[in-house]
Amino acid sequence: MDNKTTPGAGEWSGVIESYSSFLPVNRQTPVITLMEGNTPLVRARNLEKKLGCPARLYLKWEGMNPTGSFKDRGMTLAVSKAIEEGARGFVCASTGNTSASAAAYAARSGYPCYVLIPENAVAMGKLAQSLMYGATVINVRGNFDQALQMVLDIVESRPVTLVNSLNPYRLEGQKTSSFEICDILGEAPHTLFIPVGNAGNITAYWNGFREYRSAGLSSRLPRMCGFQAAGASPIVQGERVENPETVATAIRIGNPASWKSAVDAARDSGGSISTVTDQEILEAYHLLASQEGVFVEAASSASVAGLSKTLQENPGAFKEGDDVVCVLTGNGLKDLQLAIDNCPQPVTIGADISELEKVMELR
């Protein structure tokens, strides 16, 4: 397959078939796909102006994946490889997008999926997805770490495969987003901004950019700039956070699984891992929707919050002609309560044209 070719309408066939030469698959691998990947790379001219960004700014809109987050890129590979290796079901511990994605791909595979969630700690949209896709959702009276331990124990004695990000195929699939960015831009960007939770995704992107350059399909490597929420920033603080707290639930992680490789990616690329506050995250969340029409999960906007902070601290951070990409990891529709709670409420009027005119004059 020619990896430099951007597909035309109807030509895309999912990340495994599109990038098979970069993935641990062979002709026998049964490909379980929902046509994930090939997500929009949107130029954000309004944000460039608003933030005073001299570089070209692009948004990698991963919320456009089939279950609404980048997790689908890794899940297609994890599930396909598990079936190839004889799995008879899937299990994960998750408070969010991993469970939604696992449940969807399991449904397509025809095998059962068991999702362990810490009791009552899951956003409504993500819970609804897992239930609709037919997963067995199990509330655990305990926290995430305890649920994960149970999952690790059960895969020892049952023919079910763990699809948490400890599954190495997850990161392999996730790196395909770097390939798509390079294919569209014709080169790797100068700088990549990305939210960091368990730190698997920043690791995957860095692997992808390096593999593409080694293959001669790009000639530079981006600076990798990762952002944790201030209340859940173990990497920045250099120690585990016992009770991580942030409005950005998808990055509320106190002890990241890919800690070391994320630190390596930031260091080796000349980038950094820093923090943004919940207020900065919510500002970026609103800016993305109101300025660009892109509605993301709160966690996703940590990348744009990080860009905004970088430009405030150092207006000369980028040159004209640079390409800067902000990764937007998940879809805003996952958590409607957060959106509604953080917006002005609708105005109510009588069915009367003069009342309508009054409202429209005020705007």
Ligand X SMILES: *Cc1c(COP(=O)(O)O)cnc(C)c1O
Residues in touch with ligand X (CB under 6 A)? 69, 71, 96-97, 195-201, 250-251, 297, 299-300, 329-330
Query: Residue 175 has which token pair?
Result: 């790196």
Provide the minimum distance between the beta carbon of 354 and ligand X in the complex, in angstroms, as a whole number.
Answer: 45
**In the complex, minimum distance from the CB of residue 356 to ligand X, in angstroms, rounded to a whole number:** 38
Q: What is the 3-class SS of the chain, one letter each residue?
A: CCCCCCCCCCCCCCHHHHCHHHCCCCCCCCCCCCCCCCCCEEECHHHHHHHCCCCEEEEEEHHHCCCCECHHHHHHHHHHHHHHCCCCCEEEECCCHHHHHHHHHHHHHCCCEEEEEECCCCCHHHHHHHHHCCCEEEEECCCHHHHHHHHHHHHHHCCCEECCCCCHHHHHHHCHHHHHHHHHHCCCCCEEEEECCCCHHHHHHHHHHHHHHHCCCCCCCCEEEEEEEHHHCHHHHCCCCCCCCCCCHHHCCCCCCCHHHHHHHHHHCCCEEEEECHHHHHHHHHHHHHHHCCCECCHHHHHHHHHHHHHHHCCCCCCCCCEEEEEECEEHHHCHHHHHHCCCCCCCCCCCHHHHHHHHHHC
Q: At closest approach, how far in Å is the CB of 197 from ligand X?
A: 3
Closest distance between ligand X and the C-beta of residue 27, in Å? 30
Closest to ligand X by CB, 201 vs 274, is 201
**CB of 313 vs ligand X, minimal distance in Å:** 23
SS3 breakdown of the chain: % helix, strand, coil, rounded to 5? 45, 15, 40
**Cα dihedral 347, 353, 355, 359 in deg (nearest 10):** 60
Q: How far is the CB of 201 from ligand X (least distance, A)?
A: 3
| Choice between 233 and 329, CB closer to ligand X | 329
Q: Name the residue nearer to ligand X (CB basis): 77 or 83.
A: 77
CB of 39 to ligand X, least distance (A): 13
- CB nearer ligand X, residue 72 or residue 180: 72
d(CA 325, CA 338): 25
| Minimum CB distance to ligand X smaller for 201 or for 310 | 201
Choice between 97 and 191, CB closer to ligand X = 97
Taking the complex as a whole, how short is the minimal distance between the CB of residue 157 and ligand X, in angstroms?
27
Q: How far is the CB of 146 from ligand X (least distance, A)?
A: 19
Which residue is closest to ligand X by CB?
Answer: 330
Closer to ligand X by Cβ: residue 55 or 66: 66
Residue closer to ligand X, measured from CB, 55 or 163 = 163
Nearer to ligand X, 250 or 266 (CB): 250
